[in-house]
Amino acid sequence: MKPLEETFIKMVLDAWHSHVKQTDDLFNSLSDEQLFTEIAPGKNRGIYLLGHLTAVHDRMLPLLGFGDQRYPHLYKTFLESPDRAQADIPSVEDLRNYWKETNNILSKNFSKLSVTEWFQRHNAVSEPDFAKEPHRNKLNLVINRTNHLANHLGQLLLLKKAKENK
């Protein structure tokens, strides 16, 4: 039997990869026109959630010590501002590519991290705080971001046409 740490890392990463795949499959199945539709009347459009999820995942790179954000310009439009507040947004094609690229880079970095590194602090927590709260490690950030992704995936599923609904 594998050491428990490896089992636990597998549990967390399986959930992450499964949700990224489900969301990626959904984005691939939605037309550009569907992405410009609101998930519900007066709520966010699909395109905004595509940018939002990409910005949040891009920000995981520095938080996990994998290097700088690749698309820092997404931050203001898709994290600090609500949908439609910024007139100038990237093209759908670019956003679709950024989304895939970001998840690929995360995935490559995940596979290189050692067991010890997964249980080290992430960069949004200070060393003194981490000494008191060892659960605020890199793996915990992945648990939280998987839940964040699941939350918006539930909303994005509403963009599917009635006959496509599960």
Interface contacts to its own copies, rule CB under 8 A: 1-2, 4-5, 7-8, 10-12, 14-15, 19, 39-43, 119, 134-135, 137, 139-140, 143-144, 146-148, 150-155, 158, 162, 165
Helix, strand, or coil here: 124?
A: coil
- Output 16 or 71, the one with its CB closest to its own copies: 16
Q: Give least dist CB 108 to its own copies, A.
A: 22
Q: Which is nearer to its own copies, 71 or 152 (CB)?
A: 152
**What's the burial of 27, exposed, middle or buried (CB within 10 Å: 0-12/13-18/19+)?**
buried
CB of 68 to its own copies, least distance (A): 27
Which lies closer to its own copies via its Cβ, residue 61 or residue 149?
Answer: 149
What are 45-50's contacts with CB under 8 Å, separation 24+?
A: 45/83, 45/84, 46/156, 46/159, 47/89, 47/92, 47/95, 48/78, 48/83, 48/84, 49/152, 49/155, 49/156, 50/92, 50/95, 50/96, 50/99
Least distance (Å) between residue 91 CB and its own copies? 26
Nearest-approach distance from CB 115 to its own copies, in angstroms: 10
Nearer to its own copies, 77 or 137 (CB): 137
- Closest to 59 (Cα-Cα) out of 124, 127, 147: 124
